[in-house]
């Protein structure tokens, strides 16, 4: 199979490229080498240095391609709302250009890197009102150290659960909004063209080749960067917020399985890509600091605008549709991450 892989030099994309080569597939590798992810790294010869929003370049690369694996994106929480034009340009405009070029070339199979951030808060149940969706947490509650969301109907405590793919979308950051827009664009393209899309909603991905010392990276990278500087990881809220930390090699496996699977025709199918083994952010920071041999984490309270309390997923659908099951255990993956090679500091 001939695959156009966008974001091929990135944290996740590079692992997908490795695994595709191992499986004997022909990879057309493309990356824009954004400084937020790559710093001033020089593009290697085997990866085309170019922008997904360059329609002329896509017209050159797409003929003969059987499927597109679209990983290119600006990721992470970002610096401020002033990042919004960059997120929209690199995530949404570029995706629209790619979809138009795929239609022109007759390429009908797409695997899209999506994200769990489109859900907003996770799934919650109230003892009296069943499954409910709490609104954004009040700043006064966060300032007072009251981090758990409450039932919007009665104010009672909620029990967090696993988020299924049919949960309503509720993006709470610029990045989340652009990832949801990518799904909408791809879904419309599939309906219009008869193409098919697997939208893989990644949870908290970590592992070798993560960017270091950048606000555009995930929390695991931020903690590891602190430890490298001899500083304690700084954990926001009370450290008890739950996430699903999934190793990058498992994410690469999910992508290859999706590329090799029969693509749903005329529609987009979303799949959670997660470990199925949730942990708190505090647990992750503690395990990482212990494995690294650095200072213990410090709980600092507070929360960034748009932060959610608990977001963990149900992995069952990916298992049924793709035969995907995460292979890396949390303790093994975090222990390895303590010494995994990271990318050089990115520029912002």
Give 141-175 pLDDT, tens digit per residue. Answer: 999 999 999 999 999 999 999 999 999 999 989 99
Give 75-129 pLDDT, tens digit per residue. Answer: 877 667 888 999 999 999 999 999 999 999 999 999 999 999 999 999 999 999 9
Average pLDDT over residues 183-193: 98
* Ramachandran quadrant class, 81 (left: phi over 0; alpha: psi -120 to 50; beta: rest): alpha
Q: How confident is the model at residue 269 (pLDDT cuts 50, 70, 90)?
A: very high
Average pLDDT over residues 264-289: 97
The separation between the first and the last C-alpha atoms of the chain, rounded to the nearest angstrom, is 36
Q: Does position 44 have pLDDT exceeding 60, yes or no? A: yes
Cβ distance 261 to 271 under 8 Å? no
Q: How far apart are CA 239 and CA 222, in angstroms?
A: 15
Q: How confident is the model at residue 35 (pLDDT cuts 50, 70, 90)?
A: confident
CA 319 to chain centre: 18
Q: Does position 312 have pLDDT exceeding 60, yes or no? A: yes
Q: Please state the φ and ψ torsions of residue 251, each to the nearest 5 degrees.
A: -65, -40
Cβ distance 333 to 247 under 8 Å? yes
Average pLDDT, the chain: 94
DSSP-H helix ranges across the chain:
11-22, 35-38, 55-61, 84-87, 94-105, 139-143, 174-193, 219-228, 248-260, 281-292, 316-322, 330-337
For residue 97, count other CB atoms closer than 10 A to its CB: 17
Q: Does position 215 have pLDDT exceeding 80, yes or no? A: no
């Amino acid at each position: 199979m001939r695959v156009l892989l966008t974001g091929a030099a990135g944290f996740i994309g590079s692992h997908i490229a490795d695994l595709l080569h191992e499986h004997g597939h022909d990879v057309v590798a493309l990356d824009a080498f954004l400084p937020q992810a790559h710093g001033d790294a020089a593009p290697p010869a085997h990866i085309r240095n170019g922008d997904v929003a360059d329609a002329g370049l896509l017209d050159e690369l797409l003929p003969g391609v059987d499927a597109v694996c679209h990983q290119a994106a600006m990721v992470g929480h970002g610096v401020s709302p002033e990042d919004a034009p960059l997120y929209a340009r690199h995530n949404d405009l570029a995706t629209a250009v790619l979809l138009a070029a795929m239609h022109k070339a007759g390429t009908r199979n797409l695997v899209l890197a999506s994200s769990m951030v489109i859900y907003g808060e996770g799934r919650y149940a109230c003892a009296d009102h069943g499954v409910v969706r709490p609104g954004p947490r009040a700043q006064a509650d966060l300032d007072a150290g009251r981090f758990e969301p409450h039932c919007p109907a009665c104010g009672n405590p909620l029990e967090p659960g696993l988020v299924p793919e049919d949960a309503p979308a509720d993006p709470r950051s610029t990045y989340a909004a652009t990832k949801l827009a990518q799904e909408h664009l791809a879904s419309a393209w599939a309906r219009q063209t008869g193409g098919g899309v697997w939208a893989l909603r990644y949870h908290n991905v970590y592992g070798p080749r993560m960017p270091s010392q950048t606000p555009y990276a995930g929390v695991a990278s931020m903690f590891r960067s602190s430890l490298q500087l001899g500083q304690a990881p700084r954990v926001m809220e009370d450290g008890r917020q739950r996430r699903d930390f999934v190793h990058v090699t498992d994410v690469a496996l999910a992508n290859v399985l999706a590329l090799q699977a029969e693509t749903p025709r005329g529609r987009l199918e979303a799949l959670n890509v997660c470990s199925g083994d949730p942990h708190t952010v505090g647990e992750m920071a503690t395990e990482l600091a212990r494995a690294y041999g650095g200072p213990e984490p410090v709980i600092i309270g507070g929360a960034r605008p748009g932060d959610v309390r608990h977001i963990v997923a149900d992995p069952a659908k990916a298992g049924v549709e793709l035969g995907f099951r995460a292979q890396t255990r949390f303790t093994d993956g975090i222990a390895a991450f303590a010494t995994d090679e990271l990318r050089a500091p990115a520029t912002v």
